[in-house]
Amino acid sequence: MEKDYIFYIEYGAKRMTVELIYSTGTGLFQEVLARPWLFLICILALTALLTGVTALLSREWLQLRHKKWMLSLHDLYEQAMDRTTDAVLILDGRGTILSWNRASEELLGYSKEEMLQQPSARLVPGDRRLIQNALDRCRQEMLLPLKARHKDGRSINLLLTLQPHNHFYTATLRFDEFKPVTVETTWHGDKDVLTGLPNRTAFLAYLEEQTAIKTFAFSVSFLSIDSFPRLAEALGRKPSERLLLDMTDRLQTVLPKGAFLARWSDCVFALILPDEDVALAGIWEQLRQKLKQPFSVNGLQLFAPLSIGTCFYPQDGKNAEMLLQHAYVAKRQAKQIKDTSVSYFDASMMSQIERMFQLEADLPMALSKQELELHYQPQVNLADRSIVSAEALLRWNHPELGLISPLEFIPIAEETETIVPIGWWVIEEALREFHQLKANDTPLQQIAVNVSLIQLERPDFAERLELLLHRYQVNAACLEIELTESIMQESSRLTGVLEKLQEIGVTIALDDFGTGYSSLSRLYSLPLDRLKIDKSFIDDIAVSPSALNVVHTVVYLAEQTGLDVVAEGVETIEQVHMLKELNCLIYQGYYFARPLAADALKGTLRNYQIPKDVPIGAGM
Ligand code: C2E
Ligand code: MG
Ligand code: MG
């Protein structure tokens, strides 16, 4: 007879089923079954065997799982540690470094490979027991100031926060505080040889440290002496170095203790200041006052205004690169104003600066591509209502951006010194045009050109001008050179060239008079022929008694000193009447004519009939 036996073997939660099939007529199994004690032994042996195998398998399995789990946990932990912006280390009870994250790497320059399993004493070579002593005492969170050594050799003041856990400690490192390094006292890093200030490398390192702290707001500024390259060329090395040293002194006298001032490049200083809005505005104001005094160099009295661009950490940039770029953009903006001026970065400046860079790149080719053109704005004499002169005004027809105002591209041309070839082109073109007009017997007595200071102070300016006058057979007295008031700041240096021009016989007008730096004494000392009263006074002449007073005074002053006056930007009949009353008899402005292309000017001159009364709408 055949019979099925089914056995259940239980191991832990697992139940195994062993089915034994035997047939009554067969050998060994029948024998075992016939002896119950043998049967029991077999069952026990089988159970032990299965238990052992199962235990072995599940231990291996658990170990594998555990290993995998630990690996992924470790990965996660590493990633998390590397992403934290704080420098965090884990130390065991003996101070051995068990974990070193990326922020620690950035802070102290050592990689994980270099620091893992190393004694934490390596961080503070000056006091190797410092951290160990702290660990021995550490029962709860404690702070430990220390002087750590960066891999590059710098020593850095850090604050270590120790946190005890069961068998290990976490240690967070951060800069001790906003530790301003004042130039004259504590700085021992890379120095600029001339001024003794920290140099560009030192400034960068310091800025990077400050952005790493993340808790303190501060400002980053560039302060540029824009006129310095020209001054240096004209004065020579020693005197220009003297000027830089004087400038450094003036800066240091207005800067507070927390300031970090560095020499960024030849004529640019870089500055970090703890962020206090009011204090910053006060500092700039003091600086402005200081720079109103001329620098005395080689017996010359020179002015050196600064263009200051400022941005703030963290709102304008979270890292050094961003902050430097934004401070630079703001500085470029400030540069457009000729006097010492401050510009604070704002996001809209980025598109302006991109345009500026495009213009800067395209400008050198504008001449050869014939994109430049001169327009001419007539000047009228109210005494006899004749057109007496015309001012040549530059226009740039940019192939993509359209017509660009000279107010926008002249400063760029000045910065890149493209203004010199452009300026010569303007003079030559104006003389060529004037020569033609004269050949056609026009009543125009003079042509005026605007000349940039950068071109004027080239040593060969007067000679080249004479050559051109000769080439186009234009009498020197028929050419007027318009200079902006900023020449007053450089008057002592420019007297020579101005006197030379006077000798040649060209006339000199001071443009935009009233907006800048003119002092009466300097006005008297320069060989000028004419003052052009700035449009801003003319705008208000009919509505503001003080504007009227200014114009009145300028006219009086001009009469006393034998200068002519011209009113700029006259737009209304009321203004014309007022000017006539004030005896300011020559004017230019939209009221009579806008700047005209050469052909339109010729047409206007040809058709102009002297009106009985004040001139009305001759050109447009
Ligand atoms: P500027 O020499 O003072 O020229 C007068 C400016 O006032 C011109 O602007 C002219 O178009 C404008 N204007 C004249 N009358 C009126 C008026 O009634 N109303 C108004 N709203 N504006 C009037 P523009 O042509 O844009 O030139 C601006 C400045 O660019 C010039 O001021 C001059 O400083 C500079 N510039 C122009 N051409 C040259 C050049 O060839 N060389 C140099 N270095 N600078 C130039
Ligand atoms: Mg002008
Ligand atoms: Mg002007």
Which ligand has the nearest atom to the CA of 377? 1
Confidence band for 197, pLDDT divided at 50, 70 and 90: very high
Give 406 Cα–ligand 3 centroid separation in angstroms: 12
Give 619 Cα–ligand 3 centroid separation in angstroms: 20
Q: What is the predicted pLDDT for the residue at 143?
A: 67
- Chain center to CA of 457: 29
According to DSSP, residue 485 is labeled G
Q: What is the predicted pLDDT for the residue at 390?
A: 98
Which ligand has the nearest atom to the CA of 534? 3
Mutational test site, ligand 1, from 393, 422, 572, max ligand atoms within 8 Å of CB: 393
Residue 530: name the closest of 344, 384, 379, 419 by CA. Answer: 379
Q: For 370, left (φ over 0), alpha (ψ -120 to 50), or beta? A: left
Q: Is there an atom of ligand 1 within 6 Å of 487 CB?
A: no
Q: Are 472 and 431 in contact (CB under 8 A)?
A: yes
Q: What is the predicted pLDDT for the residue at 577?
A: 93
Distance of alpha carbon 300 from alpha carbon 235, whole angstroms: 10
Q: What is the predicted pLDDT for the residue at 26?
A: 54
Give 419 Cα–ligand 1 centroid separation in angstroms: 16
The two structure tokens encoding residue 194: 């001339």
Burial class (CB in 10 A: 0-12, 13-18, 19+), 599: exposed
Q: Is there an atom of ligand 1 within 6 Å of 590 CB?
A: yes
Nearest CA, atom 27, ligand 1? 406
Nearest CA, atom 22, ligand 1? 569
Average pLDDT over residues 281-302: 89
Q: Is there an atom of ligand 1 within 6 Å of 377 CB?
A: yes
Q: Is there an atom of ligand 1 within 6 Å of 571 CB?
A: yes
In terms of average pLDDT, the best of 15-19, 70-74, 158-162, 416-420 is 416-420
- More confident of the two residues 201 and 42: 201
Q: Phi and psi of 507, rounded to 5°? A: -95, 155
Give 450 Cα–ligand 2 centroid separation in angstroms: 5
Nearest CA, atom 45, ligand 1? 450
Helix (H, G, I), strand (E, B) or coil at 294: coil
Given the CA of residue 532, which atom of ligand 1 is nearest to it? Answer: 3
Confidence band for 178, pLDDT divided at 50, 70 and 90: very low
Distance of alpha carbon 365 from alpha carbon 347, whole angstroms: 30
Q: CATH number for the 196-347 domain, one of 3.30.70.270, 3.20.19.10, 3.30.2320.80, 3.30.930.10?
A: 3.30.70.270
Nearest CA, atom 29, ligand 1? 407
With 80 as the cut, is the pLDDT of residue 141 above it?
no
Distance of alpha carbon 14 from alpha carbon 406, whole angstroms: 91
Confidence band for 176, pLDDT divided at 50, 70 and 90: low
Long-range CB pairs of 496-501, under 8 A, 24+ apart, other chains included: 497/456, 497/457, 497/461, 497/462, 498/526, 498/527, 498/528, 499/527, 500/462, 501/462, 501/465, 501/527
Q: Is there an atom of ligand 1 within 6 Å of 595 CB?
A: yes
For the chain, the structural domain boundaries read 5-59, 84-175, 196-347, 357-604
Count Cα atoms within 13 angstroms, Cβ side, for 349. Answer: 19
Tokens 């008297």 label which residue?
524
Tokens 């170095």 label which residue?
241
Give 534 Cα–ligand 1 centroid separation in angstroms: 11
| Across 3-12, 92-101, 234-243, 384-393, least confident range | 3-12
Average pLDDT over residues 151-174: 79
With 50 as the cut, is the pLDDT of residue 182 above it?
no
Residues with CB under 5 Å of ion ligand 2 are 450, 482, 511
Which ligand has the nearest atom to the CA of 570? 1
Residue 275: name the closest of 376, 205, 178, 177 by CA. Answer: 178
pTM reported for the whole predicted model: 0.63
Q: Is there an atom of ligand 1 within 6 Å of 411 CB?
A: no
Q: What is the predicted pLDDT for the residue at 252?
A: 94
Q: Using one digit for the tens of pLDDT, what is the confidence trace for 453-504? A: 999 989 999 999 999 999 999 999 999 999 988 777 777 778 889 999 999 9
In terms of average pLDDT, the best of 12-26, 299-313, 586-600 is 586-600
With 80 as the cut, is the pLDDT of residue 324 above it?
yes
Q: How open is the CA angle 126-129-135, to the nearest 5 degrees?
A: 130
Average pLDDT over residues 254-281: 87
Q: Are strands 300-302 and 268-274 parallel, antiparallel or unpaired?
A: unpaired
Average pLDDT over residues 231-244: 84
Give 527 Cα–ligand 3 centroid separation in angstroms: 19
Confidence band for 452, pLDDT divided at 50, 70 and 90: very high
Given the CA of residue 451, which atom of ligand 1 is nearest to it? Answer: 44
With 90 as the cut, is the pLDDT of residue 84 above it?
no
Average pLDDT over residues 577-592: 95
Which ligand has the nearest atom to the CA of 569? 1
Q: Are 297 and 236 in contact (CB under 8 A)?
A: no
With 80 as the cut, is the pLDDT of residue 96 above it?
yes
Count Cα atoms within 13 angstroms, Cβ side, for 122. Answer: 15
Confidence band for 224, pLDDT divided at 50, 70 and 90: very high
Which ligand has the nearest atom to the CA of 448? 2
Q: How many CB atoms lie within 10 A of CB 352?
A: 14
The two structure tokens encoding residue 17: 């089923």
Q: What is the predicted pLDDT for the residue at 20?
A: 46
Q: Are 272 and 206 in contact (CB under 8 A)?
A: yes
Average pLDDT over residues 294-322: 90
Q: Domain 84-175 adopts which CATH fold?
A: Beta-Lactamase (3.30.450)
Mutational test site, ligand 1, from 376, 433, 450, max ligand atoms within 8 Å of CB: 450
Q: What is the predicted pLDDT for the residue at 589?
A: 97
With 70 as the cut, is the pLDDT of residue 387 above it?
yes
With 60 as the cut, is the pLDDT of residue 5 above it?
no
Give 61 Cα–ligand 2 centroid separation in angstroms: 90
Mutational test site, ligand 1, from 410, 451, 566, max ligand atoms within 8 Å of CB: 410
- More confident of the two residues 212 and 360: 360
Give 588 Cα–ligand 3 centroid separation in angstroms: 10
Q: Is there an atom of ligand 1 within 6 Å of 569 CB?
A: yes
Q: What is the predicted pLDDT for the residue at 19?
A: 47
Helix (H, G, I), strand (E, B) or coil at 349: helix
Q: Using one digit for the tens of pLDDT, what is the confidence trace for 107-131? A: 888 888 888 988 888 888 777 778 8
Q: What is the predicted pLDDT for the residue at 402?
A: 95
Confidence band for 278, pLDDT divided at 50, 70 and 90: low
Confidence band for 335, pLDDT divided at 50, 70 and 90: confident
Given the CA of residue 393, which atom of ligand 1 is nearest to it? Answer: 38
What is the end-to-end Cα distance of the chain in Å, rounded? 131
Q: How many CB atoms lie within 10 A of CB 418?
A: 20
Q: How many CB atoms lie within 10 A of CB 502?
A: 17
| Whether the domain at 196-347 and the domain at 357-604 fall into the same CATH topology | no
Nearest CA, atom 12, ligand 1? 569
Give 378 Cα–ligand 1 centroid separation in angstroms: 12
| Across 272-281, 496-505, 511-520, least confident range | 511-520
Q: Is there an atom of ligand 1 within 6 Å of 394 CB?
A: yes
Nearest CA, atom 35, ligand 1? 406
Helix (H, G, I), strand (E, B) or coil at 224: strand
Q: What is the predicted pLDDT for the residue at 70?
A: 66
Nearest CA, atom 46, ligand 1? 450
Nearest CA, atom 42, ligand 1? 450
Whole-number Cα distances in Å, 228 to 232, 235, 302, 422 = 6, 10, 11, 22
Confidence band for 519, pLDDT divided at 50, 70 and 90: low
Confidence band for 449, pLDDT divided at 50, 70 and 90: very high
Q: Are 504 and 465 in contact (CB under 8 A)?
A: yes
Q: Are 372 and 396 in contact (CB under 8 A)?
A: yes
Provide the mean pLDDT of the chain.
Answer: 84
Residue 374: name the closest of 589, 604, 606, 601 by CA. Answer: 601
| Across 9-23, 204-218, 306-320, 572-586, least confident range | 9-23
Q: What is the predicted pLDDT for the residue at 580?
A: 93
Give 195 Cα–ligand 1 centroid separation in angstroms: 40
| Across 59-63, 369-373, 413-417, least confident range | 59-63
Given the CA of residue 419, which atom of ligand 1 is nearest to it? Answer: 44
> Is domain 357-604 in CATH 3.40.50.970, yes or no?
no
Q: Are 596 and 376 in contact (CB under 8 A)?
A: yes
Q: Using one digit for the tens of pLDDT, what is the confidence trace for 33-70? A: 777 777 788 788 888 888 877 777 777 777 777 777 66
Q: What is the predicted pLDDT for the residue at 370?
A: 96
With 50 as the cut, is the pLDDT of residue 181 above it?
no
Q: Are strands 2-11 and 14-23 parallel, antiparallel or unpaired?
A: antiparallel
Q: Are 138 and 169 in contact (CB under 8 A)?
A: yes
Peptide bond into 239 cis (omega under 30): no
Burial class (CB in 10 A: 0-12, 13-18, 19+), 1: exposed
Nearest CA, atom 7, ligand 1? 569
Residue 93: name the closest of 61, 46, 138 by CA. Answer: 138
With 80 as the cut, is the pLDDT of residue 2 above it?
no
Percent of the chain with pLDDT over 90: 43
Distance of alpha carbon 162 from alpha carbon 131, whole angstroms: 9
Nearest CA, atom 16, ligand 1? 569
Confidence band for 619, pLDDT divided at 50, 70 and 90: very low
Q: Is there an atom of ligand 1 within 6 Å of 248 CB?
A: no
| Across 9-13, 27-31, 262-266, 598-602, least confident range | 9-13
Q: Is there an atom of ligand 1 within 6 Å of 418 CB?
A: no
Give 587 Cα–ligand 1 centroid separation in angstroms: 14
Q: What is the predicted pLDDT for the residue at 517?
A: 58
Distance of alpha carbon 30 from alpha carbon 43, whole angstroms: 15
Q: What is the predicted pLDDT for the residue at 214?
A: 66
Residue 387: name the closest of 397, 396, 398, 376 by CA. Answer: 376
Which ligand has the nearest atom to the CA of 515? 3
Peptide bond into 545 cis (omega under 30): no
Give 364 Cα–ligand 3 centroid separation in angstroms: 25
Q: Are 78 and 112 in contact (CB under 8 A)?
A: no
Average pLDDT over residues 407-420: 90
